[in-house]
Every structure is written in structure tokens, then in C-alpha cells.
Chains A and B, each alone.
Chain A
Amino acid sequence: MSLWLDLLSQFRGPIGYQRGEIAHAEPTAVAALAMLAWDSGRFASTIARHEAWLAERQQADGSIAPNEQLAEPGWATSWALLEAAARQSLSSSDVPHKSPDTTSALQWLLATSGMPLENTPSMGHDTMLLGWPWVVGTHTWLEPTCLAVMALKAHGYADHPRCIEGMRVVKDRLLPRGGANYGNTFVLGQQLLPHLQPTGLALMALAGTADDNGYQAAAREYLLRELPILPGAASLAYGFLGLHAQRTELPNAGNLLQAAAERVLRRDTSPYRLALLCWAAWAIEQPPGTIWPGSILQPAKLTAVPA
């Protein structure tokens, strides 16, 4: 436990994907989530700094910019919303500080969608579904849709038509052989390869929904098969979180996370990767199904996603 707390205590301000590089919204929100999870009181002032930095990134339309350099794209808005929901549910911070305005952020998220494309035989997924894009004006992809679905659920919008449709997108993008990639299933008749990180995120987003076609089970089997090989830290963390969200035990998870952290520390000391590992390491200690700090996105009864 001390390893993870020691790592988190080094994040005194907003962090980036690489040490020494500029700060980004996604790593900063993830680090704040990890701190909220481990000890919201101990890290209250740091969390406040992270939230204030995220608030400075908020644009007039409510979206959160990815970093200080760029005004868009706004997909990290979902991360800011997830962090805000966790902090609000914990009521942890006594430190007065500025934080992102969640109302306008949610409005932006609900008003944003991917560009539908006419369905063609060459593409295996339903290209007419809206979901969420990485960049406004482009097609729907898996990870931004997963993040948006979780952010909406965390703020009580689980029954909103956009959230329900988002879950349909995630289900539509799962591969029959197990797993998911960036968001293509079949192209020109061939099934594409699965990747660990998006598979983990998909299972996180779909936690608590019915597995009507067995694709979620196939995704879990894919992760259970591949994660022990010790992939990249982000892939391992998301993969573990996806399994844990779906109440599936990853054998030897603690040792795998620690080995991944040691490798990150030895190679590039990426604060983003370390924050993800810290979050996952906290989740190990939680009951099956619980991966989020606070009372957000608690394990729910199984619900079917309307077709």
C-alpha cells in the first residue's frame, strides 16, 4: 500500500502523459480520481489544485480542453465529470477552490455526437449509431463513447437516451472472438484484432448490463488470457478495472500491477501510467464490481440495453 501512496504523493500538481512534459486533462483527472480513492483527506489540497487546473481548461461551451495548448478536442470532458462526481460523492474537500462547472460540461457532452455514416457492407459495425467521437465532426469511436457513457451514468443520466444509445455503440463494437479495439469490428469481411485498453474500458462502461450475445464474456476471457503477459501499464490497469467492474478476478493482479509500476519507474516514469496503476491497485481492495471512489457507478442490478 505504501508504494501507491508514495507514488500519489509525488503528484503535487497537474500531470502529463510523460514526466517533464506539459500537463494534460486526462492524466490530471485520473490522478485526482486515484487520490480520491486512496485518501481523499490526505490529498485534499492536491486534488483541489488538479480540479482548479481542470477548471482553467474549461471552454465557453462547457468542454474541457486536453491541455494548455489546445482548445479542442473535448473528449477529456468525460474524465473531468467522472472526477467531479467522485469528489462530490465523497464530500471530501474542505479546501476552497475552483472546479469545472459540471452543468455546462454535461450540456456539452449531451450535445456532442459522432458523425453517422451510411452503413456499407465493407464495415462490420453499425455506422449510423451516434455515440461520441474523439474530435467533433468525425465518426464515433469506442473509447470516447465508453468515457461519455460512464460520465453520464455517474451524474445520474443512466436512463438518458444518449447514454442508452452509447451503451449500444459499445456493445456493437465488441468483437465476436473476444475484446474490442479502437472501434472497428469487421472491415472488408475480416474481423479485426482486439486491444487490451479499449477492451477494459468497454467492460467498465458495460458493467451491470446484460450480456445478451456472450461478447462481454468473450472479452473477459481475452483479458484473462492476455493480461498475465504483463502488457503496458495502461493496458493492464484498464484491463484489470474492466474485469473487476464485471466482478471477475484477475489472478495475481496485485503482483502484476506492482511489476508494471516497477517497469514504468525503471523506464520512463510516466505519471499518467503510475496514476492509472494506483487507481487499479486501490480497486483490488474493493468488493467485486467496485472500481470508482465514492458512491458513483456502484454495482447495479443487471439491466438490458434496449436494442
Chain B
Amino acid sequence: MSLDKNESSNTTRGETTHAVDCWPCGTPKHKPAENPVVASNENPVAETKSKLLSGEAVGSHASHPCGGNRATEFSADKANPEKLDSLTLDRRTLLVGAGAVAVAAGSYNLWANTSGPRASVFVARNQRYDGQLETTIRDGLLASGFDASWVRGRRVLLKPNLVEPSRLSPQMTTHPRVILAVAEVFLRWGATVIVGEGPGHVRDTENALYESGLAEALDDARLKFIDLNYEETAWLPNRGNACKLAGFHFPKSVVEADLLVSIPKMKTHHWVGFTASLKNFYGVIPGIRYGWPKNVLHHNGIPETIFDINASIPRAIGIVDGIECMEGDGPILGTPKPMGLLLMGTNLTALDATVARIMGLKPELVSYLQLFADKFGPIADSRIEQRGEDWRPMVNPFKVLDEPHLRELTTQKAQLIT
């Protein structure tokens, strides 16, 4: 699949019309086409990609004249969040909440009950931000067993990692090109796509979007962005029960999504060893309820809350930006580590275990992966089917801080730094 203008003019642009909602009001600027196969010259994602690659300025999206007075129907948890039976919920919220719980419960049990003892992970090498990422992602997801027909007409929330963006440290955050490429794949499959993030360390999400380079790209591609830190919330019970929290407040966009796509950056993490698709979902927890940083989670145990959040959210898959990575003192202060990889899979446990191995870490010793192992998926290499490239030749140990709690996670080839 190519995204040059000639080819995009022959593609199914009717599929993308869901994604051009007005930011303030949520009203679609263009009605979804009844026939999804409608030729158009307009492909905002592809055009934005082209501009990013050429260095041309993006961000000319004009304001919408709606006035932004969209009435919200989403009422959720009042007052006491920890007692579900005391809540006053409207019918829609109940339906949404019940659906999300069912999906979450389904995803929790899916692997153990129906997928057998194996999961597959796709690894692609020689990837570049100016390359054909859409093709790689599309092929990789299909090779991982993802059913593309399932997403048609469904709501897909893309969750990049924008924990604390700095234009001086692009290795810290998911590259905009990867996010746009993932969006393009799901738009072509007929999904409604939005991008959402609740940065963990910064309250000014607008600034985070500028620093990461994502703001203008999203504007010009007319992709809707949701600030998950401040969106209205709904309380869902904790399906993992590894920590003492009875439940979590999740943003409306997370609860209503049919599919979450974790798009993390492949990075070391100075407390838990590394961060990839599972830990990235810390960013769906709203700061308005949990703070900046989301300290309620820390006080309840980082591994335990990573597990419980993943157990409680809707169905999720992962696509890891392993092109320009971070090693050393991640997830904020580490240094660039070029790897040229994209990794993806429908089982986040297996995906992250493979990421860890490529980084030179022992997944079976990573505290949060220990919780996921054999509950959400396999971490044993013998039970992960590799698609695309074999991970073994890809191993390129990341520098890791020489701290006792990290030293034990590393393989013999790892380089410890102070």
C-alpha cells in the first residue's frame, strides 16, 4: 500500500469520513458515506504524511463554525466512585459501562480459554519514519491474526505515549508518523479512529502535543484528539484485583471504544525495567482524578496497577514504535537508540515479552510481566509464534542503569551504566 496522491485517489475515502469530526463539538464535518467505497482526492492522513516527510509545514486546519456547544449525554459516576451500586447512571451509561465490562472480561479470559497456549508476535526490521509504515502495520496485524473485517464501523482509540514530551528528546515519545500510519490502516479498514492520551507528567496537554510534533500532524490529517486527562469519566470495577483499588475511573472515549491500540515507544524504564504496550495504558487513567503524576497508581503498586488497568479496559492490541528508541535512564532522560523495528501483536503480554528480549532483558523477571504471564498471555518464548522476522538476530541490548533492581533483569550482554 502506498500513500502517494495518485494511489490514495483510488482508495476508499468514504471510510475516513468518521475521523474528521470537529474538535469542539464532535459533529462530523462530513457525513459518513453510505457506500464506503467512494473515490476521492482527499486523503488528509496521507497528505499530512507527505508533508511531514517533505518538511512542509502542517497545521492549517481551520476552526469549525459550530460554536462548540455539543450537549453531552454522558453522565457517569457521582460522588462515591468505589460503590457501583450507589451510582446514578443514565441508561446509555449503563449500557456503555456494561458493554465495556463485558469486553474487558472477555479480553481477560480470551487468551486462557480460547486461544490455547500460544500467541503470535510480528517483528519488522529496517523500518524508517519516512518508509512505508502503513504497509508494514497492515501486513503485520494480519499476520498476527488480527481480523480486519471486525473493525469496520467500530470505534478505535489510538493510544500513543506522550508522557512528558520534549522537542529536544524525540526518543521519548511515539513518533507522529507511526501514529498516522496506524490511523491510516484502521481508517482504510472502515473504523472510526480517534487519538487519545492523558500525559502522565504534564497538565498542559496542548503543549505536550506541540512538543511531540503531534499537534499539527493531527490537525492537518483531521484526526480527532481526546485529552484523556480531563474528559468525563465512568467508573468500572477492577477486573484484575492485583491491587486494592475496587475500580478505575476511565475516560468516556476509553469506555466507549471497541478497540484500544497501544502505540508505545520502546524504552527502558528506571523503575520497572522497560515500558511498552502494557505500561503505556497508564495514560488512559485521567489525571483529573488520579493526579500528575498518577500517584494513586504508584501508591497501589506499579506492577499491580499495570495489570489491573489492562484487565479492566476494552479489548486491546499493540503496535510498538521501535524505530528510534530510548536506552539508559528511560522513560524520560534516556538517550536515543536506533533499532529500526516495528513490533505488533494482538496479545500484549507476548508482544511485550518479545520487546524485552530484543532489548536484552529477561521478561520472566520483569515484575509486571510476571503478573501477566499465563493469565493474559505467554511470556515463554516457546509459546510465542514469531511472524515476520525472527527476534533473535534483532537482539541489541539496551543500556540499563546499574541499579540493583534493574541489574537482575538484564542478560549477560547488557551494558550497565551509571
Contact = CB atoms under 8 A, between A and B. Distances in A.
Interface of A: 16-22, 24, 66-73, 115, 133-135, 137-139, 141, 143, 181-182, 187-190, 192-193, 195-198, 231-235, 264-270, 273
Contact of B403 (A16, A18, A188): A188
Nearest to B167: A229
Contacts of A20: 24-26, 68-70, 72
Contact of B206 (A70, A187, A232): A232
B206 A135 contact: no
B271 to A, nearest CB: 9
6 contacts: A71-B80, A134-B295, A139-B298, A232-B209, A235-B204, A266-B62
A18 B205 CA distance: 12
B227 to A, nearest CB: 7
A138 B299 contact: yes
B132 interface: no
Given A18-B230, A273-B206, A143 B292 contact: yes
B382 interface: no
B104 to A, nearest CB: 20
Contacts of B25: 19-20
Question: Which of A70, A134, A193 gathers the greatest number of chain B CB atoms within 10 Å?
Answer: A70
B68 A269 contact: yes
Nearest to B233: A69
Contacts of B232: 21-22, 67, 69
Given A20-B26, A21-B231, A188-B329, A234 B203 contact: yes
Contact of A231 (B80, B210, B288, B329): B210
Interface centre among B76, B164, B204 (most CB of A within 10 A): B204
Contact of B203 (A137, A143, A233, A268): A143
Nearest to B200: A182
Contacts of A234: 203-204, 206-207
B219 to A, nearest CB: 6
B62 to A, nearest CB: 7
Interface string B208-252: 111100010001000000010011110000000000000001000
A141 B72 contact: no
B61 A267 contact: yes
B72 A69 contact: no
A267 B68 CA distance: 11
A21 B72 contact: yes
Contacts of B288: 24, 66-67, 70
Q: Chain A at the B interface: mostly helix, strand, loop or mixed? A: loop
Given A20-B68, A70-B289, A182-B293, A137 B299 contact: yes
Contact of B166 (A17, A143, A193, A265): A193
B75 interface: yes
Given A188-B403, A232-B210, A193 B164 contact: yes
A96 B69 CA distance: 28
A19 B68 contact: yes
Contacts of A198: 203
B202 interface: yes
Given A21-B231, A66-B288, A269-B68, A71 B296 contact: no
Given A188-B401, A232-B206, A234-B203, A269 B295 contact: no
B204 A17 contact: no
A267 B292 contact: no
Contacts of A18: 24, 227, 230-231
A71 B206 contact: no
Contact of A266 (B63, B201, B205, B293): B63
Interface of B: 23-26, 61-63, 68-70, 72, 75-81, 164, 166, 169, 201-211, 215, 219, 227, 230-233, 249, 270, 287-293, 295-296, 298-299, 329, 332-333, 401, 403, 418
B206 A17 contact: no
A10 to B, nearest CB: 9
Sorted nearest first, the 3 A-B pairs with minimum C-beta distance are A134-B291, A232-B207, A19-B68
A190 B63 contact: no
A192 B211 CA distance: 16
Nearest to A266: B63
A248 B72 CA distance: 42
Contacts of A17: 227, 230
A210 B201 CA distance: 28
Given A69-B232, A134-B290, A235 B207 contact: yes
Given A69-B75, A268-B23, A21 B230 contact: yes
A247 B187 CA distance: 51
B174 to A, nearest CB: 18
Contact of B204 (A138, A232, A266): A232
Contacts of B70: 20
Contacts of B210: 231-232
Interface-centre pick from B61, B289, B418 (highest chain A CB count, 10 A): B289
A171 B291 CA distance: 21
B333 A192 contact: yes
Given A69-B75, A69-B78, A234-B204, A135 B290 contact: yes
A266 B232 CA distance: 23
A115 B300 CA distance: 13
A188 B400 CA distance: 12
A182 B292 contact: yes
Contacts of B202: 182, 195, 197
| A16, A198, A268: most-surrounded residue (chain B CB, <10 A) | A268
A23 to B, nearest CB: 10
A182 to B, nearest CB: 5
Given A67-B288, A70-B249, A138-B299, A231 B72 contact: no
Nearest to A237: B204
B68 A70 contact: no
Contacts of B215: 267
A267 B219 contact: yes
